[in-house]
Amino acid sequence: METNNQQNNLIKTPEQILNIMKASAIGDMCFSHMLGYIKTGMTEMQVANEIERVLLSLGAEGLSFETICVSGDRTAFPHGEPSEKIIEEGDFITMDFGAIVNGYCGDMTRTVAMGKVTGEQRKVYNIVLAAQLAGIDSIKAGVSCFDVDKAARDIIAEAGYGEYFVHGTGHGVGTQVHEAPTLNSKSDEILEEHMPVTIEPGIYMPEKFGVRIEDLAIVTKFGIINTVNSSKDLIIL
């Protein structure tokens, strides 16, 4: 049974929300830098190291979690660790990272392409984006976490990729990058005003590729305030 105290910790104060927004702003600046940095021939590890260097150089006091950077068929691993794999033309690259500001975490994910994309890559990207936007549109205070997950999951399932969405749609964020509430198909939690939550559906096709798009948003009575401002259009570097 959750105590009122635990519940109150999930509802952030204006100062706590400001720290999360600052962490997200650092993430946006880092992502913008990475768009000009990533080149074919680099390794995933090189890209991950640069992400972490830039987050810290922009004022992060630490990292919300170990940076995820996967490319090519390794984007099918939702939580893949960066490797010495060389980034090649035609690869998707998924980057998931976050800065800590005054003890509060940021969290964002973007998937970009190198040089060119196939019709299938574009199709799957657009399905994930539609699912992510549907999840965002469903969020406001009083809505169940189950219903937010369903809004995103239904888009992916109706497109025929339901079996490839293998995690929940999102989670709370605070001093830990994974906090309650949990936005998934088993949750009975209700969203309340000033809860920060991620919206991060994905499609992961083994031995092919994966796509995830993640924002971190503040729940309000009227919808959300999205703390992540980076483009979600398919970016081809």
Residue 204 in any domain: the answer is yes
Residue 132 in any domain: the answer is yes
Ramachandran class of 94: left when φ > 0, alpha when ψ lies in -120 to 50, beta otherwise: beta
Where does the pLDDT of residue 6 fall: very low under 50, low under 70, confident under 90, or very high at 90 and above? very low
Distance CA(224)–CA(137), nearest Å, equals 8
The residue with tokens 């205070």 is 141
- Closest listed residue to residue 161, CA positions, set 211, 114, 108: 211
Residue 166 in any domain: the answer is yes
- Closest listed residue to residue 54, CA positions, set 73, 75, 70, 69: 69
Q: How far is CA 129 from CA 58, 110, 179, 197, 229, in A?
A: 28, 11, 24, 17, 15
pLDDT at position 5, please? 42
- For residue 176, list its beta bridge partners: none
Q: Is 227 helix (H, G, I), strand (E, B) or coil?
A: coil
Does 1 score more than 70 pLDDT? no
Distance CA(10)–CA(171), nearest Å, equals 11
Q: Domain range holding 208?
A: 4-226
- For residue 215, list its beta bridge partners: 199
Residue 233 in any domain: the answer is no
User: How many domains in the chain?
Assistant: 1
Q: Which of the 8 DSSP states describes residue 105?
A: E
Range of lowest pLDDT (5-14, 76-85, 138-147, 217-226): 5-14
Q: By the 8 A CB rule, do 105 and 98 touch?
A: yes
CATH number of domain containing 198: 3.90.230.10
Amino acid at the residue 190: I
Distance CA(70)–CA(167), nearest Å, equals 17
pLDDT at position 7, please? 55
Q: By the 8 A CB rule, do 211 and 205 touch?
A: no
88-136 tens-digit pLDDT = 999 999 999 999 999 999 999 999 999 999 999 999 999 999 999 999 9
Q: By the 8 A CB rule, do 227 and 22 touch?
A: no
Residue 219 in any domain: the answer is yes
Q: Is 12 helix (H, G, I), strand (E, B) or coil?
A: coil
147-165 tens-digit pLDDT = 999 999 999 999 999 999 9
Where does the pLDDT of residue 8 fall: very low under 50, low under 70, confident under 90, or very high at 90 and above? low
Residue 178 in any domain: the answer is yes
Residue 231 in any domain: the answer is no
Residue 118 in any domain: the answer is yes
38-88 tens-digit pLDDT = 999 999 999 999 999 999 999 999 999 999 999 999 999 999 999 999 999
Distance CA(76)–CA(202), nearest Å, equals 9
Where does the pLDDT of residue 20 fall: very low under 50, low under 70, confident under 90, or very high at 90 and above? very high
